[in-house]
Amino acid sequence: MSLFKQRNAPEIEDRIRVAIGEMRTMLRIDTMDVELIELDADTGVAVIRCSGDCPDCDLSAENLTVGIEAHLRQQVPEIRSIRFAAR
């Protein structure tokens, strides 16, 4: 039985959204957008969209995907894989 069947998938989606909100606060990414597009409850794959760029440097949201993935995996261990969607 998968973790998603043991736990409520909407609850996991809520935890992902909370983790994304915490990340926005930590990184001060007001001009960037990171959002959960989809969570496949059968496979544990989260689809995340990143867009925008840093107002203080040349980094785009796509350049931050490694850190975004690490933060989400730490906060929501039920995620098996993260896929980043194109803008």
Q: Which domain holds residue 13?
A: 3-85
User: Which pLDDT tens digit goes with each residue over 39-55?
Assistant: 998 888 999 998 877 66
**pLDDT at residue number 28:** 64
CB neighbours (10 Å) of residue 18?
Answer: 12
- pLDDT per residue as tens digits for the range 52-80: 776 677 777 667 788 889 999 999 999 99
The alpha-helical segments, DSSP class H, found in the chain are: 3-6, 9-27, 65-75
Query: Residue 4: is its pLDDT beyond 50?
Result: no
Question: How many independent structural domains does the chain possess?
Answer: 1
Nearest to 69 by CA among 53, 39, 46: 46
Looking at residue 7, what is its pLDDT? 58
For residue 65, what is the domain's CATH number? 3.30.300.130
Answering whether pTM is above 0.85, one says no
